[in-house]
Structure 1
Amino acid sequence: MSNSSSISHFLLLPLADTRQLQLLHFCLFLGISLAALLGNGLVIGAVACGHHLHSPMFFFLLHLALTDLGSILTTVPKAMHNSLWDTTTISYTGCAAQLFFFIFFVSAEYFLLTIMCYDHYVSICKPLHYGTLLGSRACVHMAAAAWASAFLYSLLHTANTFSLPLCHGNVLGQFFCEIPHILKLSCSKFYLREVGLIAVSMCFASGCCVFIVFSYVQIFRAVLRIPSEQGRHKAFYTCLPHLAVVSLFLSTGFFAYLKPPSISSPSLDLVLSVLYSVVPPALNPLIYSLRNQELKAAVWSLITGQIQKH
């Protein structure tokens, strides 16, 4: 039995038991992180340098790429370090910082995905009001609101979680610092405050999810009313990348947190945590680039332009 004042570090869940598998996980994480850095970096560079991409959709896509970069750089480097050097420790302050930034970037991504859904809704269902509802000032305000809300949300959760006294050691059942696993170490009579905060957060997240579902119902109804088949296909494929990213983001996260306890196991929890924290940031730029010809052309121009300079 110990309290939080005496804890100087936490022990993270090792990715593998043998040295060979640890090195394999290091190489795997290195490949995924490099793919995420390259893909999101190209998206950011293409949108920033391509003046014809300065529209609300690409403006929010740039911010989405920033959240993907931030989330993968928060969790993966420490996991790679632990696999390479055969250790599982993370300092108390390092754990708090990792928790803060992970919640910050993931919640910002969720808010941005909700805003991007609104962008698609206005462009398809209210095209005549698009310039009014999504002008440059409105886009800046919505992006700033997403980042500010994510910051306050993350600060509240981190401060509340690390103010709890920890009475059950310092071993976390996850390869990065996460609220549910820290709560398992807290004294039973104190953790209910954070559980209540999580419940309120889940209600808010469910509200965003309902908004996304309602918006897409309206979008699909409007698409089906388009008289030309070519117009229907164009409108549908405009929304398809965003719908795929939202589905990947929500399905992996919801299954990881809401799966039945009967099927829970350390290996399954580890796989699911990788799926919702590491895989989406690497796949998101690929999903958007494959379906968006403008973005694909801008990325290719950026690559060829850099090659010609060298």
Structure 2
Amino acid sequence: MLCPDLHSLTLLFLQMKLTSQNHTTVTEFVLMGFSNIPKFQSFLFATFLVIYMMIRMGNSLIILITKTNRSLHTPMYFFLRNLSFLEVGYTSVTLPRMLANLWTQSRTNPFLACATQMYFFLMFGVAECFLLAVMAYDRYVAICNPLQHSIIMDDKACLQMAAGSWIGGIPVQMGQTYQIFSLPFCESNKLNHFFCDVPPVLELACGGTAMNELSVHAEALLFVTAPFLLILVSYIQIISTILELPSKTGKHKAFSTCSSHLIVVTSFFGSAIITYLRPKSSHSANVDKFLSLFYIIVTPILNSMIYSLRNKEMTVARKKLLSQLF
């Protein structure tokens, strides 16, 4: 659960702003968001506020339950606790700003604030890709090599994998954000999105963006597609092993455990791969907005609902906690 020093990050972006000042007249961006449907601003604010509170409460409950219940002190729930903590941070980077814009109708976002939002959004996104891959590997070891699971996935290995997931993308995403906001922005400052994502910001750049687009695709292949392929290989092995189990009860339990993770993986990676790997010519503002809702809203709320409601161990632990509190 590590993040770069905020003071150092601020100094970096201030330096970036000063060095690019001679090439740009843009000092702030205007997040157009859902301005094309003015009659629904109040409805959207209420809807997204409820969703944000559900995400915060659901994932916070998972963190509390897996931390306080000793029977859940296993690698699977350790990584789930990390994922829930990550989801809270991930949504907090984007949703509060979107809610403020909907409530006040003031859509301006300063240059530095936009750069900072993009950096933390990318950092949390990469961490989630790695963490979902680590969770798939844990399920692979638990099902395909159960006798060695406690040895392979000991406390030290789990801590190293979690730390690697959190800090793995920090240097690269800092460089990526620096490169994007070093571009000249000299025409429009109207960002046709509800947060500072990579594709809509690149569309506003008036210089050559071919190298930046190539860099985005390369990083998407490294940080999104590669973990997804590792997850895919893990689940091919897992499903093959499950189908060989003699007991129907064992098959059902194994499939139940893995299906929750697969639903979260599909919604997150599917939308992220389409957003960042399709060519610029096929980008559409409305499609980008729709897809981004999947990885900033749908996946976090699915995570909290699936693991809270469908997981029997979590259900028992939740009832035990509530009985102790009340």
Settle same-fold status: TM greater than 0.5: yes
- Work out whether residues 66 and 78 of structure 2, in 8 Å CA contact, stay in contact via their aligned partners in 1: yes
Question: Retained in 2: the 8 A contact 1:3–1:167?
Answer: no
Partners of 1:20 and 1:3 in 2: CA distance:
40
| Matched-pair contact (CA < 8 Å) for 1:3–1:166 | no
Name structure 1 gaps, 5 residues minimum: none
Match of 1:110 in 2: 129
Aligned residue runs from structure 1 range 86-97, under 5 A: 86-97=105-116
User: Relative to 1, partners in 2 of residues 1:46 and 1:208: Cα closer, same or farther, differing over 3 Å?
Assistant: same
Matched, 1:198 2:212: no
**In structure 2, distance between residues paired with 1:261 and 1:105:** 24
The letter of the residue matching 1:273 is S
Mapped contact 1:100–1:154 kept (Cα < 8 A): yes
Query: Does the C-alpha gap of structure 1 residues 153 and 304 become closer, same or farther in structure 2, counting only changes over 3 Å?
Result: farther
Whether 1:9 and 2:19 are equivalent positions in the alignment is: no
SS at match of 1:193: helix
Task: State the match for 2:296 in structure 1.
Answer: 277
Residue 107 of structure 2 aligns with an amino acid whose one-letter code is T
Q: Distance in 2 between matches of 1:260 and 1:146?
A: 28
Shift of 1:287: 1.1
TM-superposition CA deviations, 1:118-177 (whole Å, max 9, x none): 000000111121112100000000000111113223212212211222233211121100
- The Cα shift of 1:18 comes to 5.3
Shift of 1:21: 0.8
Mapped to 1, the partners of 2:286 and 2:323 lie a distance apart of: 43
SS state of the match for residue 184, structure 2? coil
> Which residue of structure 1 lines up, in the alignment, with residue 319 of structure 2?
300
Q: Identify the residue that residue 170 of structure 2 maps to in structure 1.
A: 151
Counterpart CA distance in 2 for 1:183 and 1:3 is 19
Instruction: Give the letter for the 2:163 counterpart.
Output: A
TM superposition outliers: structure 1 runs of 4+ over 4 Å: 2-5, 257-265
TM-score, length of structure 1 as denominator length: 0.92
- 2:192 aligns to what SS in structure 1? coil
- 1:30 and 2:49 are equivalent in the alignment: yes
Return the offset for 1:4: 5.5
| Superposed CA RMSD | 2.0
Q: Show the counterpart of 1:238.
A: 257
CA contact 2:59–2:304 (8 Å) conserved in 1: yes
Partner of 2:310: 291
Q: Is the 8 A contact 1:70 1:105 kept in 2?
A: yes
Matched-pair contact (CA < 8 Å) for 1:107–1:150: yes
Is 1:54 the counterpart of 2:73? The answer is yes
Give 1:254's aligned residue. 273
Q: Which amino acid aligns with 1:43?
A: I
Aligned to 1:67: 86
Name whichever of 26-35 and 100-109 sits farther off: 100-109
Structure 1 residue 258: deviation in Å? 5.1
Query: Deviation string for 1:211-253 (max 9, x for gaps)?
Result: 1111111101111111111111111111111111101111222
**More displaced, 68-77 or 295-304?**
295-304
Alignment check: 8 A CA contact 1:46 1:298 kept = yes
**% identical aligned pairs:** 35
- Match of 2:3? none
| Runs of at least 5 residues in structure 2 that lack an aligned partner in the other structure | 1-20
Task: Provide the rounded CA distance (Å) in 1 between the counterparts of 2:141 and 2:232.
Answer: 15
Letter aligned with residue 145 of structure 1: G
Judging changes above 3 Å, is the alpha-carbon distance between structure 1 residues 262 and 158 closer, same or farther for their aligned structure 2 residues? closer
Tell me the secondary structure at the aligned position of residue 169 of structure 2.
helix
Q: Which moved more, 1:179-188 or 1:264-273?
A: 264-273
Question: How far apart are the structure 1 equivalents of 2:123 and 2:310?
Answer: 28
TM-score by length of 2: 0.87
1:121 aligns with 2:140: yes
Contact conserved, 1:45 with 1:302, CA < 8 A, in 2? no
